[in-house]
Amino acid sequence: MFKNITVAFITRSVRTKPFMVGMAMAQKFNGNLTVIECVLKKTPKFVLFETKDDKKAAKKQKLAGEKTLKEFEAKAKGANISVKTILALTESIPDWIHDYVKEHRTDLLIIDHPHLSDFEESYYDDIIKSISHEVAVPLLLLRS
């Protein structure tokens, strides 16, 4: 039923529950698991080019995301699940996810949706609404 399962992390807070559900689904349906860490790329200080500080900040974002992804990859391989990890440093999370799901023929998309402050909640709700309107595959939102 679900052969290509994608777990996308759009927030920094909840990671374990969506990953574990994705792993269980991949195991049950003998499918492939893709774990995507979506990180909003900070806009450069100057519009036309990136400064050294901008490049350092992007590098820090990449390192933090890669560390988490390596941990998840090790867990999935330990459970004998085919896993692929991707770090998406992007300016638009909904557009990036939509393009990925469309290009890679994802069967199920799992997204984290934690309880956050009011400001963060409305911001991430907008991202999730955009994703749900654009993506034409089943979407599983996991609330923590």
Q: What is the distance between the alpha carbons of residues 42 and 40, in angstroms, rounded to a whole number?
A: 6
| 106 has a pLDDT exceeding 90 | yes
What 3 state SS string does the chain have? CCCEEEEEECCCCCCHHHHHHHHHHHHHCCCEEEEEEEEECCCCCCCCCCCHHHHHHHHHHHHHHHHHHHHHHHHHHHCCCCEEEEEEEECCHHHHHHHHHHHHCCCEEEEEECCCCHHHHHHHHHHHHHHHHHCCCCEEEEEC
CATH code for position 103: 3.40.50.620
Task: Give the pLDDT mean for 77-91.
Answer: 91
> Model confidence at 55, in pLDDT bands (50, 70, 90)?
confident
| 109 has a pLDDT exceeding 90 | yes
pLDDT value of position 27: 94
Q: Could you give the number of structural domains in the chain?
A: 1
pLDDT value of position 103: 94
Q: Could you list the residue range(s) of the whole structural domain that residue 68 is in?
A: 4-143
pTM of the entire predicted model? 0.85
pLDDT value of position 46: 67
| 144 has a pLDDT exceeding 90 | no
Mind listing the pLDDT tens digit for each residue in 16-45? 889 999 999 999 999 999 999 988 877 766
